[in-house]
Structure 1
Amino acid sequence: MALFQFGQSVTTKDLQEKLNGDIQLVDVRSPEEYRGGHIKQAKNVPLYRITSYKGNKQDPVYVICQSGIRSKQAAKELKELGYQVINVRGGMNQWLGQRVGGK
C-alpha cells in the first residue's frame, strides 16, 4: 500500500455488487454532472458541501465522483468527521451499470 493511501477503496464492479443491499452512496460531483447521469442509489452532495453530509456513521459510506480524484478528497474529509469511508476507484468514468438522468 502506498503511503498516500489512507483508506479503503473498491472498483466500480465491486460497487455494483454492493448495490443489491442498502448502502450509503454519495456522489460528490457538481449538481450539473449528477443530473447528467448518476447511479440511482446515489445521493448528490457536491465536494464543496461534503462536511454537511449527515449519514449513518455506523455503516460504510461509498463515495464516487467522475474519475476518483474528488471522491478521494471527500473520503478524507468524511473520515476526519468519523465516517467509515470507501472510495470508488475510477468513478463514473469506469461505471458500466445503469444510470438515472442524462441523455
Structure 2
Amino acid sequence: MSEQATTPQDLADDAVVLDVREQDEWDAGHAPGAVHIPLAEVPARIDELPDAEPLPVICRSGGRSGRAVQWLSAQGYDVVNVEGGMKAWEQGGKSVVSTGDKAPEVL
C-alpha cells in the first residue's frame, strides 16, 4: 500500500468518499457517505469535492480512483486511493446503498 492509499477496512462505514464511477455503477450501489463525481467530470467539478482530508477516492476496483488520486494530488489535494474499490468495500461487509428501489449491488 502506498502512502496515497487506504483500505475499506480503514474507513468508517459512513466515511465521506469521492466515488468516480459512472452513473449506472453509482445508481446500482455506492457507499452511504459517498459523493458522486464521474472521473471524466472531476476537473470541471473540482469545486464540488467533499471537505475531507485526506479525501478517500473510490471506484469499482481501484484503477480509475488511482488516476483521480494522481491528478488531484498534482493539484495540491490531500487524497488517498481506496484499494480494491467498491468490490473490496462490499466484500468487507460494509454498507452499500442504491438509487431507486432495486437491491444495492456493486457493478
- Report if TM-score (shorter chain) is over 0.5: yes
Tell me what 2:57 maps to: 63
Secondary structure at the aligned position of 1:26 is classed as strand
Q: What are the superposed Cα offsets for residues 37-91 of structure 1, whole Å, 9 maximum, x if unpaired? A: 0001100110101112223677221100000000000001111221001110000
TM-score scaled by length of structure 2: 0.77
2:87 maps to a residue whose letter is: N
Percent identical pairs in the alignment equals 36
Q: What are the superposed Cα offsets for residues 4-23 of structure 1, whole Å, 9 maximum, x if unpaired? A: x6x5111110023682xxx4
CA distance in 2, matches of 1:60, 1:91: 16
Unaligned runs of 5+ in 2: none
Structure 1 stretches of 4+ moved >4 Å: none
In the alignment, is residue 37 of structure 1 matched against residue 34 of structure 2? no
Give the length in aligned residue pairs.
95
TM-score scaled by length of structure 1: 0.80
Secondary structure at the aligned position of 2:42 is classed as helix
How large is the Cα RMSD of the aligned pairs?
2.1
Unaligned runs of 5+ in 1: none
Counterpart of 1:94 (choices 76, 88, 96) is 88
Tell me what 2:41 maps to: 49
Tell me what 1:73 maps to: 67
CA distance in 1, matches of 2:13, 2:71: 25
- C-alpha contact (below 8 Å) 1:57/1:82 kept by paired residues: no
> Relative to 1, partners in 2 of residues 1:65 and 1:36: Cα closer, same or farther, differing over 3 Å?
same
